[in-house]
């Protein structure tokens, strides 16, 4: 059985109803944002630009395992791992991330990569101003993603804290770089020669 047609308003009432919507909107609070002059604070857990974190002595948390790259649905991450050596060490364990790139032309900021990371090396910041007119500039390198140095940290490469192992780093037993770490970095970069014994001399940490 055919449905009864619904009762409609007389034609002249429709424009009046339309003006009613406009009239009500005139008294609502304006939502216009003055971006970029006035930047809005994001939610604390906003998914913004990524960051590669460090241990408290400055060694890198990334172990080059590529789990983040495999978890990424947009194929936006490229990782190449490499072995640490006693002369050139970037992380406490066996391996480190030698090459690390995130392509922000592909990334959808979903956060699956940071969930996959076993060492909490990869997290996301609140920074959202990632737009650029160049595709090449949208590929962020390890140097751009690596966290800055905080107090007590020394830039890589350098040795692990004497008397500790990789597990101690994850137990929170290493809280700052050991004395002499500055010299180790300088020697490995060829900026300073090793002492007669070939060992690094004690020197205050340059925070
Ligand atoms: S946030 Fe999502 S899309 Fe972006 S790199 Fe991580 S997993 Fe890939
Ligand atoms: S960021 Fe995490 S998941 Fe990605 S390679 Fe490094 S350690 Fe592995």
pLDDT digits (tens, 9 = 90+) for 9-59: 667 777 888 888 888 888 888 888 899 999 889 999 999 999 999 999 999
CATH architecture for segment(s) 50-151: 2-Layer Sandwich (3.30)
Of the listed ligands, the closest to the CA of 124 is: 1
Distance between CA atoms of 179 and 111, rounded to whole angstroms?
A: 37
Given this model, what pLDDT does residue 33 score?
A: 86
Given this model, what pLDDT does residue 182 score?
A: 74
Tokens for 4, please give them: 């009864």
Burial of 21 (0-12, 13-18, 19+ CB in 10 A): exposed
Given this model, what pLDDT does residue 141 score?
A: 98
Tokens for 127, please give them: 């920074």
Confidence of residue 172 (pLDDT cuts 50, 70, 90): very high
- CB of 107 within 6 A of ligand 1: the answer is yes
Cβ neighbours of 144 (radius 10 Å): 14
Given this model, what pLDDT does residue 13 score?
A: 78
Residue 146: what are its φ and ψ, rounded to 5°? -65, 135
- pLDDT exceeds cutoff 90 at 199: no
Helix (H, G, I), strand (E, B) or coil at 197: coil
- CB of 130 within 6 A of ligand 1: the answer is no
185 compared with 103, residue with greater pLDDT: 103
Annotated domain spans of the chain? 50-151
> What is the CA(68)–ligand 2 centre distance, in A?
5
65 appears as a binding residue in the annotation = yes
Tokens for 31, please give them: 């939502």
80 appears as a binding residue in the annotation = no
Ligand 1 atom at minimum distance from 47 CA? 1
Tokens for 134, please give them: 């160049």
120 appears as a binding residue in the annotation = no
> What is the overall mean pLDDT for the chain?
87
pTM equals 0.80
């Amino acid at each position: 059985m055919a449905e009864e047609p619904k009762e409609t308003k007389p034609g002249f009432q429709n424009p009046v109803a339309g003006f009613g919507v406009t009239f009500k909107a005139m008294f609502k609070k304006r939502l216009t944002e003055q971006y970029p002059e006035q930047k809005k604070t994001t939610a604390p857990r906003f998914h913004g630009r990524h960051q590669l974190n460090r241990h408290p002595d400055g060694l890198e948390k990334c172990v080059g395992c590529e789990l983040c790259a495999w978890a990424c649905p947009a194929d936006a991450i490229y990782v190449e791992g490499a072995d640490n050596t006693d002369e050139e060490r970037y992380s406490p364990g066996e391996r480190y991330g030698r090459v690390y790139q995130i392509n922000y032309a592909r990334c959808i900021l979903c956060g699956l990569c940071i969930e996959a990371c076993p060492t909490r090396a990869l997290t996301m910041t609140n920074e959202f101003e990632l737009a650029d007119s160049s595709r090449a500039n949208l590929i962020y390198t390890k140097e751009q993603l690596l966290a800055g140095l905080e107090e007590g940290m020394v830039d890589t490469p350098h040795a692990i804290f004497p008397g500790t192992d990789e597990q101690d780093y994850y137990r929170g037993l290493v809280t700052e770089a050991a004395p002499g770490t500055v010299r180790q970095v300088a020697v490995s970069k060829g900026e300073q020669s090793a002492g007669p014994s070939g060992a690094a001399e004690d020197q205050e940490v340059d925070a």
